[in-house]
């Protein structure tokens, strides 16, 4: 349940940034991180991969 909530929040926040701060994100994309907009879109639309705590520590 906690992972579902966390995933929903991350996706919501990425979508919110794109919907409400697109100009700022576009500016950041030009001068700081050229792939930021594409990554926000990808996270907002994609299902996130999940790993267990043990697997995450091993990575």
Mean pLDDT by 10 residues, the chain (59 residues): 90 97 93 94 92 93
Q: Quick one: pLDDT at residue 3?
A: 87
- Centre a 10 Å sphere on the Cβ of residue 40 and count the other Cβ atoms it contains: 20
**pTM (predicted TM-score):** 0.78
In angstroms, the CA 41 to CA 18 distance is 8
> Domains in the chain: how many in total?
1
Range of the domain at 27: 2-58
Q: Quick one: pLDDT at residue 28?
A: 92
């Amino acid at each position: 349940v906690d992972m579902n909530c966390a995933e929903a929040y991350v996706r919501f926040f990425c979508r919110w940034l794109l919907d409400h701060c697109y100009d700022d994100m576009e500016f950041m994309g030009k001068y700081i991180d050229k792939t930021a907009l594409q990554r926000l879109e990808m996270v907002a639309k994609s299902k996130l991969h999940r790993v267990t705590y043990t697997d995450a520590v091993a990575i």
